[in-house]
Chains A and B, each alone.
Chain A
Amino acid sequence: MLPLYGERRDARGIISEKLASIDTLRGSTTLKRGFAHMQKNGVIMDVTNVQQALIAQEAGAVSVMVLDKLPSEVRKAGGVARTASIKIIEEIMDSVTIPVMAKCRIGHVSEALVLQETDVDMIDESEVLTPADELRHIWKWDFTTPFVNGARSLAEALRRIEEGASMIRTKGEPGTGNVAEAITHIKKVNDELRTIKSIYDSGDNQDLVRIAREFKVSYDIVEQTAKLGRLPVVNFAAGGIATPADAAYLMSLGCDGIFVGSGIFNATDAQERANAIVLATTFWNESDKVKEAQKMIDERQSIHGLDVKTLELRMQDRGGLA
């Protein structure tokens, strides 16, 4: 069964109704976190149009994420980045059988409501778009549609889960083709999980209270996560993944799956690269298969990439303090 830690049974997003005189429940924590479970060991690909979505599905992606521009293009364009055109999202929903996700701005409740009405399968409250409210994220318990949120640390991850996120991903540094930040974030989360687990095992409840205060979350979620030794929701890698080897390494660090943003459709060998990254994610622990996947791509066609140290815009910092 699923860990349901942190769930709110009185959430407004839960709809109890009759379907042909049979009692049913929609939007429950089991259904939302359960949806994320069906994505495990898979690759979710950023796409901007139907053609890219079909390439992603053909390659074996478990979902597509619809954006107006790929993260690297958002970076270049500057200005304000908002949720994608609803018409394009709907066109993609009519063309693929796999789930379709879309991004809304951090804290922008109405953009999220619009995406819920559009019937996307999951909403990404994403730092790739320009935040609408840096201090308060969306209260995701009000939604029937599940959410995924980015996190750079266990504290951020647990804050988002307490707000109702059904899935977590690393933030990494989007649109850079540089995987270093995603690696840093998952290692930090893993280290912190090990730390709280050892505190839990030692029976030092006072220290868990200290952690809860430091993390700005409830004691309950810290205690239950510490007992479990992992996040109570699925945890993916995202931000800067560009090659099959990038994907395989993040899987080996314990990620449940992979988001690829600009890495595929900003490369000039998108189709082969999409196939190769799926292959490497599935068989991440078989080095011959990862090599085979890496051989399918041409490094000269990879996204050029950016040094994270010299960036003017650090997307990962958005909404990080809240």
Chain B
Amino acid sequence: MSLNLGVLSIQGDVLENILSLKSALDALDIDGTVTSVKTPDELSKIDGLIIPGGESTTIGQLSMVNGLLKILKEKIEQGMPVLGICAGMILLSKTVQDKVVGKINQPLLNILDIKLERNSFGRQRESFESNISLNSIGIPSFNGIFIRAPSISDVGSNVEILSKFNEKIIAVKKNNVIGVAFHPELTSDISLHKYFVNLTNTLKN
């Protein structure tokens, strides 16, 4: 069966994720399509979804306009694989606060039991690249691109920690849900996208 992959395309870095997913499908020789997802109807046909980086407040608020956020939550809870990148991971989380502003009120999917801090490494001037590893999912070395990135200070039970940078948690997984603080789509390395395609393929078949 052909795999239908999607990238939530309300706002943010959509195109690069679509291209990375297409490359991953090609590299794995898996038959599938990659589409942008903006409406509940488009979401209903999707087997696995990336929520890309962007501004989490914008993506959250605009996903409520057409009821997408609610249906997205249902689909993820029913087992649809999802990869949340940066803003995407923020949306997946249960509790969020900002490093400077503190407590904030923004729409969240409330799925991943993690305690997340927005803008955890500072503002754009402090954005950085560094080599990281995600050993437990077979990616020993990866160029992490951190852009005004969040980090996780604490995880609930059953949330697996995939990677840390300088004691801060930067990648987590719970069953079908993955969250990463860095941007794999901004590099030419498609290993994380390949991992996600494989996960979606396994869960579908």
Contact = CB atoms under 8 A, between A and B. Distances in A.
Interface of A: 1-2, 19-20, 22-28, 30-31, 34-35, 37-42, 57, 60-63, 93-99, 116, 119-122, 144-146, 278-279, 282-283, 289
A59 to B, nearest CB: 8
A34 B11 contact: no
20 contacts: A22-B131, A22-B165, A23-B131, A24-B130, A26-B127, A28-B129, A38-B53, A38-B54, A38-B87, A38-B147, A40-B13, A62-B11, A62-B54, A97-B119, A119-B125, A120-B124, A121-B124, A145-B124, A279-B62, A282-B11
Contacts of A120: 123-124
A41 B14 contact: yes
Contact of B185 (A1, A28, A42): A1
Contacts of A146: 124
Contacts of A30: 129, 145, 186-187
A278 B11 CA distance: 11
Contacts, number: 144
Given A42-B54, A97-B101, A282-B62, A37 B13 contact: yes
A34 B149 CA distance: 12
A41 B147 contact: no
Contacts of B104: 97
Among all A-B residue pairs, the 8 with the closest Cβ atoms: A121-B124, A24-B128, A62-B55, A1-B188, A24-B130, A25-B129, A41-B11, A60-B61
Contacts of B38: 283
Interface residues of B, number: 49
Interface in B122-179: 122-131, 145, 147-148, 165-167
A20 B121 CA distance: 13
Contact of A35 (B98, B124, B129, B187): B124
A283 B58 CA distance: 13
Contact of A42 (B11, B122, B125): B11
B124 A122 contact: yes
A293 to B, nearest CB: 10
A38 B146 CA distance: 12
A30 B188 CA distance: 11
B118 interface: yes
B100 A93 contact: yes
A93 B188 CA distance: 33
For B38, B87, B100, B127, the residue with the greatest tally of chain A CB atoms inside 10 Å of its CB is: B127
A237 to B, nearest CB: 15
Nearest to A26: B128
B14 A25 contact: no
A113 to B, nearest CB: 12
Contact of A25 (B53, B130, B165): B130
A94 B145 CA distance: 25
Given A30-B129, A34-B186, A98 B11 contact: no
B57 A94 contact: no
A122 B125 CA distance: 9
Contact of B54 (A25, A26, A40): A40
